[in-house]
Amino acid sequence: MWGETSGSKSAIDLKPKVAEKLLAKAKSVLFILGSDLNEYPPKTLKKIIEKANSTVVETGSAKASDIGIEADSRYGIVEVVDLLCSDDGWRGRHDYVVFVGVPYHIESRMLSGLRLCNVGRTITLNRRHQQYADFSFPNILRPKFWEKSLKEIAKNMQ
């Protein structure tokens, strides 16, 4: 269906309970918001971002303000990856880099590139499995099940 061979390392299936613990305990989380942001339940996503100690970057055509999320900065997706891979790690080292609403094919390339850099762990909240992330949901074909997982993360984060 979707996919390619990712080598010897592939993403760990992300369970809501694991995601909420990872994000709640992290000291520094970077959320990268992409152009497919409107596919996510806005209130739920906003809760997740607020509860995590996070920096928010929106890419090109993402409209975070339309769903009530205030981005700290705005860059092209390739620029974000380039900045993360720079020597100083751009805005410090992040425990987790979380991709939200980045189109699948672009997200795949960006995550593949980030594997070569020391950027912390990567998480994608996309409803399709992303083999190049450290943590990714398995393929969730029904959007209502994916939204339920996101709501569970938001509800249980401390």
**Could you report the per-residue pLDDT of 7-47, keeping only the tens digit for each?**
667 889 999 999 999 999 999 999 999 999 999 999 999 99
In a domain, 113, yes or no: yes
Spatial contact of 27 and 53, defined as CB atoms under 8 Å apart: yes
This prediction has a pTM of: 0.91
Spatial contact of 142 and 117, defined as CB atoms under 8 Å apart: no
Residue 31's pLDDT is: 96
In a domain, 77, yes or no: yes
User: Which run of H or of E encompasses 32?
Assistant: strand 29-33
Residue 94's pLDDT is: 87
Residue 87's pLDDT is: 65
Residue 10's pLDDT is: 81
The domain containing residue 143 runs over which residues?
A: 12-156
Instruction: Centre a 10 Å sphere on the Cβ of residue 86 and count the other Cβ atoms it contains.
Output: 10
In a domain, 3, yes or no: no
In a domain, 41, yes or no: yes
Residue 158's pLDDT is: 73
In a domain, 19, yes or no: yes
Phi, psi values for residue 106, rounded to 5°: -75, -45
Instruction: Centre a 10 Å sphere on the Cβ of residue 19 and count the other Cβ atoms it contains.
Output: 24
Residue 118's pLDDT is: 80
CATH number at residue 120: 3.40.50.1220
CA 117 from chain centre, in angstroms, equals 16
In a domain, 2, yes or no: no
Residue 91's pLDDT is: 65
Residue 47's pLDDT is: 94
Number of domains in the chain: 1
Residues of the chain with pLDDT under 70: 1-8, 87-91
In a domain, 6, yes or no: no
In a domain, 5, yes or no: no
